[in-house]
């Protein structure tokens, strides 16, 4: 379903060219629950951003559902992000001025859903992450774990086939982290959503069907 | 739907940074206020200056006598005579009545006291009707007064006279030049006319033939003519021109001012003038627009993380551009609405104190709305474009 072929990414800082990804090839099948581990600075987030179409590689090719990604059509990339991919960030990235419900419905605005429709779907997904009782709370009125649940509802609301989570439990304690992980496992199992999680926590990685270890811009090891 | 949620979002965002919003609003309010007040004052002035012409009535022509035998040596006629003028209605079937009159100055005194006066005017009976001079007491000059020393006083002269003698002015004697006249009536106060180069209120009226026998034989330089009902001004005008051409054998012996033409011409000029005032107002609007741009640029910088997030969640560049553009336009239109209120208020206050007729110019209001949205678009476009160019990955990372 996702296929990365010899993906390279380098940044030019002054005269120096810094190669962050040095040729990543990776195939991720539909319905996988995959985690990416590796030391800080090895390029995990960079890879994730390329997978999520937030960034483009310096070279290499990338296919989603056997379709070659073209980086020239920005609207099309937005559309794929909107319909196929859900993001979960370490620091939640909820808009502080909007309540939980409005935060969850943001992706639906950009696909042109009507207000009633957005409301209904958003409430559904808030219920799914057990946050419907906090629909009208603003992020500042929620705990970290609750905020991350709202963020997961937002990632799910557009029915994506892939969820990308960059250290989703990084800011949460172990107990809440486990709850979030259980939520991902349930989504993966019940709805066969492909989930990719970047983590530093071996306990989280242990729960995944596959672990990719990265080191210094390369895939270093696989564990199934 | 995206527009609707954009507008809602714009209000939320503008409300959440109140101070900045208010500062930008002040700029726009002053700018639009300046344009609107300038344009409405222009309109009020226009109305005010045309009022005189419109009061004249569109059935009146003013004929100015350019004819002088010295300038036309080929002609053997000495001058346009009163008799010729009085023939006009019988020769031109478009004309109902004519009112020739002569204006000159002379000393006036009442009971031995000198009275400051403007003019002595020789008139026919028709003068009072055509020039719309109403008699408030006594009677007007009649064509039968040819051989009598009768006079009618303008309102200011009457007031001066009544300071000397309060009651029973009618029938009293008044000295004009070396002649004694009898006051037979006095006129109501009348605002200074548009074509008149003298103030009716400061004048004394006597019968035109009597006037001409007083020695200071002024030429009949002014004639007003009343057009018959249903006849248009152009026909009337050409008949009179033809009549005088035949009479004097000269081509441009008279110059005819027709109010309709003048009103149209003046309106055109006034519009230009209003446009000019509007342009001056626009300078402050420019400043207001720059204020909007500034606020929007700050807003874009401040909300870069939000922009990155929205892009990650599927917003296209044009969605982001639209969001910020709508915000800029919303800001400008809110400012525009208050600016219109301010502008109309200012023109009302000015009109009130200068005692002009106040009127609301709907064109100015429409202009305000259009211009403020245009300002929003123009000055919002650049910040919105900047916002849409932001790289989602950079903005998310800095968060
Ligand atoms: N915009 C950029 N310009 C230059 N260098 C960058 C940029 N973004 C990332 N890098 C570099 O790329 C390398 C990989 O960064 P990345 O964020 O992918 O690491 P990571 O594996 O996610 O680390 P962590 O576990 O700490 O999140 C780092 O050395 C970083 O300095
Ligand atoms: Mg990272």
Q: Which span out of A52-61, B131-140, B241-250, B350-359 was modeled with the highest average pLDDT?
A: A52-61
B306: closest chain A residue by CA: A95
Residue B179: closest CA among B109, B119, B102: B109
Write out the two tokens for A80. 């794929």
For the ranges A156-165, A168-177, B53-62, the lowest mean pLDDT is seen at B53-62
Are B230 and B315 contained in the same domain?
no
- Residues of chain B above pLDDT 90, percent: 20
- Predicted confidence at residue A130, as pLDDT, reads 87
- Predicted confidence at residue B216, as pLDDT, reads 58
Given a cut of 70, is residue B340 above it in pLDDT?
yes
User: Is residue A172 included in any domain, yes or no?
Assistant: yes
SS3 A41: coil
What is the ipTM for the molecules in this complex?
Answer: 0.93
d(CA B148, CA B209): 10
- Predicted confidence at residue A5, as pLDDT, reads 93
Q: What would the pLDDT profile of A135-153 be if each residue is shown by its tens digit?
A: 999 999 999 889 998 999 9
Write out the residue range of the structural domain in which residue A180 sits: 31-45+76-220
- Predicted confidence at residue B76, as pLDDT, reads 41
Given a cut of 90, is residue A82 above it in pLDDT?
yes
Write out the residue range of the structural domain in which residue B344 sits: 2-53+264-398
CA distances to A30, A183, A210, B47 from A189, in Å = 12, 10, 14, 80
- Residues of chain A above pLDDT 70, percent: 100
Number of domains into which chain A is organized? 1
User: Is residue A24 included in any domain, yes or no?
Assistant: no
User: Is residue A92 included in any domain, yes or no?
Assistant: yes
Category of A159 on φ-ψ map: left (φ > 0), alpha (ψ -120 to 50) or beta: left
Kindly state the average pLDDT of the residues B151-180. Answer: 87
Question: Pseudo-torsion of CA B18, B23, B28, B30, nearest 10°?
Answer: 130
* DSSP H/E element including B110: strand B108-110
Residue B363's contacts (CB-CB under 8 Å, 6 or more residues apart) are B39, B43
Kindly state the average pLDDT of the residues B332-354. Answer: 91
> Distance between alpha carbon A50 and the CA centroid of its chain, in Å?
11
- Predicted confidence at residue A6, as pLDDT, reads 93
Are B201 and B228 contained in the same domain?
yes
Are B134 and B213 contained in the same domain?
yes
Q: Give the mean pLDDT of chain A.
A: 91
Residue B398 contacts A, CB cutoff 8 Å = no
Are B239 and B271 contained in the same domain?
no
Other beta carbons less than 10 A from residue A4's beta carbon: 21
Kindly state the average pLDDT of the residues B225-241. Answer: 85
d(CA A151, CA A168): 10
For the ranges A76-90, A103-117, B192-206, the lowest mean pLDDT is seen at B192-206
Asked if B122 and B210 count as a contact pair (C-beta separation under 8 A), the reply is yes
Strand partners, B169: none
B393: closest chain A residue by CA: A54
Residue nearest to atom 5 of ligand 1 (CA): A11
Residue B334's contacts (CB-CB under 8 Å, 6 or more residues apart) are B14, B25, B28
Query: B193 pLDDT band (50/70/90 cuts)?
Result: low
Residue B16 contacts A, CB cutoff 8 Å = yes
Kindly state the average pLDDT of the residues B237-255. Answer: 80
Asked if B100 and B223 count as a contact pair (C-beta separation under 8 A), the reply is yes
Q: What burial class does residue B212 get, using C-beta atoms within 10 Å of its C-beta: 0-12 exposed, 13-18 middle, 19+ buried?
A: middle
Contact A110 B2 (CB under 8 A): yes
Q: Is any atom of ligand 1 closer than 6 Å to the C-beta of A39?
A: no
d(CA A34, CA A204): 10
Are B293 and B365 contained in the same domain?
yes
Asked if A188 and A33 count as a contact pair (C-beta separation under 8 A), the reply is yes
Asked if A34 and A188 count as a contact pair (C-beta separation under 8 A), the reply is no
Query: B67 pLDDT band (50/70/90 cuts)?
Result: low
| Last residue of one domain, picked from the residues B214, B230, B257 | B257
Asked if B135 and B200 count as a contact pair (C-beta separation under 8 A), the reply is no
The ligand with the least distance to the CA atom of A22 is 1
d(CA A190, CA A187): 5
Are B45 and B64 contained in the same domain?
no
Given a cut of 70, is residue A108 above it in pLDDT?
yes
Strand partners, B183: B151
Give pTM, 2 decimals: 0.73
Closest-CA distance, B279 to chain A, in angstroms, reads 41
Q: Which one-letter DSSP state was computed for residue B293? A: H
SS3 B61: strand
Strand partners, B226: B60, B97
| Last residue of one domain, picked from the residues B226, B257, B288 | B257
Write out the two tokens for A50. 């390329």
User: Is residue A21 included in any domain, yes or no?
Assistant: no
- Predicted confidence at residue B79, as pLDDT, reads 64
Q: Is the dihedral of CA B251, B255, B260, B263 positive or negative?
A: positive
A49: closest chain B residue by CA: B393
The ligand with the least distance to the CA atom of A13 is 1
User: Is residue A189 included in any domain, yes or no?
Assistant: yes
Are B208 and B320 contained in the same domain?
no
Residues of chain B with Cβ-Cβ distance to A89 below 8 Å are 396
Give me the CATH number covering residue A205.
3.40.50.300
Query: B274 pLDDT band (50/70/90 cuts)?
Result: confident
Given a cut of 80, is residue B311 above it in pLDDT?
yes
Residue B342: closest CA among B35, B71, B22, B14: B35
Kindly state the average pLDDT of the residues B92-117. Answer: 86
Kindly state the average pLDDT of the residues B284-291. Answer: 86
Are B394 and B298 contained in the same domain?
yes
Given a cut of 70, is residue B398 above it in pLDDT?
no
Residue B347's contacts (CB-CB under 8 Å, 6 or more residues apart) are B36, B37, B40, B41, B44, B358
The better pLDDT of the pair A176, A47 is held by A47
User: Which of A49, A115, A154 is facing B1, going by the closest CB pair?
Assistant: A115
Are B111 and B240 contained in the same domain?
yes
Contact A158 B312 (CB under 8 A): no
Are B67 and B183 contained in the same domain?
yes
User: Is residue A14 included in any domain, yes or no?
Assistant: no
Closest-CA distance, A147 to chain B, in angstroms, reads 15
Are B314 and B390 contained in the same domain?
yes
Category of B167 on φ-ψ map: left (φ > 0), alpha (ψ -120 to 50) or beta: beta
Q: Give the mean pLDDT of chain B.
A: 84
* DSSP H/E element including B239: helix B233-248
| Last residue of one domain, picked from the residues B206, B225, B257 | B257
Q: A194 CA to middle of ligand 2, Å?
A: 20
Residue A85: closest CA among A114, A122, A62, A51: A51
d(CA B52, CA B58): 11
SS3 B181: strand
User: Which of B16, B305, B311 is facing A78, going by the closest CB pair?
Assistant: B311
Residue B393 contacts A, CB cutoff 8 Å = yes
Q: A89 CA to middle of ligand 1, Å?
A: 15
d(CA B15, CA B175): 79
Q: Which one-letter DSSP state was computed for residue A25? A: E
Asked if B214 and B107 count as a contact pair (C-beta separation under 8 A), the reply is no
Contact A154 B313 (CB under 8 A): yes
Are B63 and B43 contained in the same domain?
no
Q: Is any atom of ligand 1 closer than 6 Å to the C-beta of A44?
A: yes
Other beta carbons less than 10 A from residue B155's beta carbon: 19
- Predicted confidence at residue B378, as pLDDT, reads 92
Number of domains into which chain B is organized? 2
- CA atoms within a 13 Å half-sphere pointing along the CA-CB vector of B40: 30
* DSSP H/E element including B109: strand B108-110
């Amino acid at each position: 379903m996702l296929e990365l072929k010899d993906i390279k990414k380098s940044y030019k800082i002054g005269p120096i060219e810094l190669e962050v990804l040095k040729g990543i090839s990776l195939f991720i099948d539909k319905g996988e629950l995959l985690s990416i581990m590796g030391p800080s600075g090895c390029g995990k987030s960079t890879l994730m951003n390329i997978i999520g179409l937030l960034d483009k590689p310096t070279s290499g090719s990338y296919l989603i559902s056997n379709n070659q990604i073209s980086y020239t059509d920005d609207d099309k990339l937005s559309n794929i992000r909107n319909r196929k991919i859900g993001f979960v960030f370490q620091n939640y990235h909820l808009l502080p001025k909007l309540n939980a419900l409005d935060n969850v419905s943001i992706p639906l605005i950009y696909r042109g859903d009507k207000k009633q429709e957005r409301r209904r779907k958003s409430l559904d997904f808030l219920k799914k992450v057990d946050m419907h009782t906090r629909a009208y709370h603003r992020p500042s009125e929620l705990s970290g774990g609750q905020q991350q649940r709202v963020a997961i509802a937002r990632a799910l609301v557009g029915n994506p086939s892939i969820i990308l989570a960059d250290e989703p439990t990084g800011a949460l304690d172990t107990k809440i982290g486990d709850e979030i992980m259980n939520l991902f496992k349930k989504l993966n199992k019940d709805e066969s959503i492909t989930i990719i999680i970047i983590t530093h926590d071996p306990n989280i990685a242990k729960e995944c069907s596959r672990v990719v270890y990265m080191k210094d811009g390369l895939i270093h090891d696989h564990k199934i | 739907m995206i527009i609707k949620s954009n507008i809602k979002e714009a209000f939320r965002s503008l409300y959440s940074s109140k101070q900045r919003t208010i500062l930008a609003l002040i700029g726009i309010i002053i700018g639009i206020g300046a344009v609107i007040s300038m344009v409405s004052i222009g309109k009020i002035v226009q109305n005010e200056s045309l009022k005189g012409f419109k009061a004249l009535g569109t059935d009146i022509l003013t004929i100015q006598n350019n004819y002088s035998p010295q300038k036309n040596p080929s002609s053997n006629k000495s001058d346009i005579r009163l008799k010729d003028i009085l023939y006009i209605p019988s020769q031109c079937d478009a004309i109902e009545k004519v009112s020739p009159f002569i204006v000159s100055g002379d000393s006036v005194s009442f009971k031995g006291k000198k009275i400051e006066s403007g003019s002595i005017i020789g008139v026919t009976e028709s003068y009072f009707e055509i020039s719309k001079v109403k008699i408030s007491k006594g009677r007007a000059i009649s064509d039968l007064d040819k051989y009598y020393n009768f006079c009618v006083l303008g309102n200011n002269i009457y007031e001066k006279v009544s300071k000397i003698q309060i009651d029973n002015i009618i029938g009293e004697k008044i000295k004009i030049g070396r002649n004694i006249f009898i006051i037979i009536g006095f006129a109501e106060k009348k605002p200074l006319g548009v074509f008149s180069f003298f103030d009716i209120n400061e004048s004394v009226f006597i019968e035109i033939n009597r006037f001409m026998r007083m020695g200071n034989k002024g030429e009949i330089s002014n004639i007003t003519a009343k057009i018959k009902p249903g006849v248009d001004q152009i026909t009337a005008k050409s008949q009179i021109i033809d009549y005088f051409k035949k009479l004097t054998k000269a081509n441009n012996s008279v110059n005819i001012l027709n109010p309709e033409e003048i009103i149209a011409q003046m309106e055109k000029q006034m519009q230009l003038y209003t446009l000019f005032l509007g342009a001056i107002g626009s300078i402050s609007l420019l400043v207001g627009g720059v204020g909007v741009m500034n606020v929007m640029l700050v807003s874009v910088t401040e909300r870069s993380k939000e922009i990155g997030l929205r892009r990650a969640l599927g917003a296209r560049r044009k969605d982001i551009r639209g969001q910020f553009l709508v915000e800029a336009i919303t800001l400008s239109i809110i400012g525009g609405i208050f600016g219109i209120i301010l502008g109309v208020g200012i023109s009302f206050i000015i009109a009130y104190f200068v005692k002009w007729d106040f009127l609301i110019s709907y064109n100015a209001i429409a202009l305000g709305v259009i211009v403020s949205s245009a300002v929003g678009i123009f000055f919002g476009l650049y910040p919105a474009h900047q916002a849409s160019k932001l790289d989602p990955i950079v903005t998310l990372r800095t968060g």
